Amino acid sequence: MKLLLLLSLVALAQCLVHRIPLRKGKSLRQSLREHGLLEHYLKQYPYNPASKYFHTHRSFEPLQNYMDNEYYGTISIGTPGQDFTVIFDTGSSNLWVPSVYCSSPACSNHNRFNPADSSTFIGTNDTLEITYGTGSMTGVLGYDIVTVADINVIDQIFGLSETEPGDFFYYTPFDGILGLAFPSISSAGATPVFDNMMMEHLVDRDLFSVYLSKNEQSGSFVLFGAIDPYYTINGISWIPLSAETYWQITMDSVSVSGEHVACSLGCQAIVDTGTSLLAVPNRALSAILNALGANSNGEISCKDVSTLPDVVFHINGKAFPVPPSAYVIDMDGYCILGFEGMDVPTESGEIWILGDVFIREYYVIFNRAKNMVGLSRLSRL
């Protein structure tokens, strides 16, 4: 009986996929759940967000989830293409990869670009230097074909690292970084990859969207030029940018259990796929830790996690909650909060960084056409 029911529900799902009109009634998800078949169905017929793009082989860039800490995809540079794994970073604007010019230990265990092996490489005498919250690099600039999500970007300027000081990049699972912020913060005035995609009319719309999986699951992606409606069933809240530098927005306040605990007079924040945690001003961090009952190091008893409240970010008049399942990091029975103190002074004052801990709860749309960020709350089983 259950098999027959499952087969009928599978047929129903196929109707939905092919847009066949259905009679009004319960949704497929509701019917499956009521009969105890939802989990089985999703295992047998998992949603593949890439499937709708296979016929064109464009726009969709799958990301590898590395321990819920970093998300990276593969690009190629040159003719023939040389492959590199890169962080798709909305908190910076430059593309760079290690090169054969680099003798730092961090370059020794990563793929290195060799200009001599590319027939389309054009070198320059221009240099660049980039310092991140963790790690830094120096190098030279060059031009070549860069292929991202099967999109060929001609004459893309990029950095070839000569030094990668320290040990941060030595231990990263990725080779380089592809910045997706605005040209105004690009080192050496280099045009970002997505700006060239727009100028060369390589994307259908001047936006890209991001889904980051949790619990080290697969399925994370960057989608260039499109919005996947599967991830926006809860609607999209559009937030205007407050500056065209990072993907910077204005927050109204941050609350815990209905009480404002930080940013009570408003503050600035950036939505940053390249930051793992929620980075907040140090004085705000103390208030949040106190409100959640954590010690000064952010440690908390794992047995208390189920009773913790949401941390709610109030932005553009709407509430965006982050539950404890998202902001508590369980490291084999040792629990800490996914907040870190970081004072980042800007012309707008102290800034918050809404990193992956926040982004995993939302499908995020980065809209260059309207200079807005769109947030859609993700549905979880």
Instruction: Say yes or no to pLDDT of 2 above 50.
Output: no
Check residue 117 and give its pLDDT: 98
Q: Average pLDDT for residues 211-228, to the nearest whole number? A: 96
Q: How confident is the model at residue 52 (pLDDT cuts 50, 70, 90)?
A: very low
**What is the rounded distance in angstroms from the CA atom of residue 157 to the CA atom of residue 141?**
7
Q: Catalytic annotation on 167?
A: no
pLDDT: is 72 or 47 the higher one?
72
The pLDDT of residue 11? 40
Is pLDDT of 13 > 50? no
Q: How confident is the model at residue 346 (pLDDT cuts 50, 70, 90)?
A: low
Q: Is the pLDDT of residue 275 over 90?
A: yes
Q: For residue range 330-342, what is the model confidence (pLDDT) as tens digits? A: 998 899 999 999 9
Question: Which of the following is catalytic: 252, 272, 310, 356?
Answer: 272
Over residues 187-211, mean pLDDT: 97
Tell me: pLDDT of 68 over 90.
yes
Q: 108-133, pLDDT tens digit by residue?
A: 999 999 999 999 999 999 999 999 98
pLDDT for position 255:
98
- At 350, the pLDDT band (50, 70, 90 cuts) reads confident
Mean pLDDT of 69-83: 98
Residue 332 has a pLDDT of 86
Average pLDDT estimate for 213-229: 96
Residue 231 pLDDT exceeds 60 = yes
89 catalytic, yes or no? Answer: yes
Q: What is the pLDDT of residue 5?
A: 37
From the list 68, 89, 206, 228, the catalytic residue is 89
- The domains found in the chain, sorted by start residue, are 2-46 (no CATH), 60-222 (2.40.70.10), 228-377 (2.40.70.10)
Overall average pLDDT of the 130-142 stretch: 94
pLDDT band at 170, cuts 50/70/90? very high
Q: What is the pTM of this model?
A: 0.85
Check pLDDT > 60 for residue 74.
yes
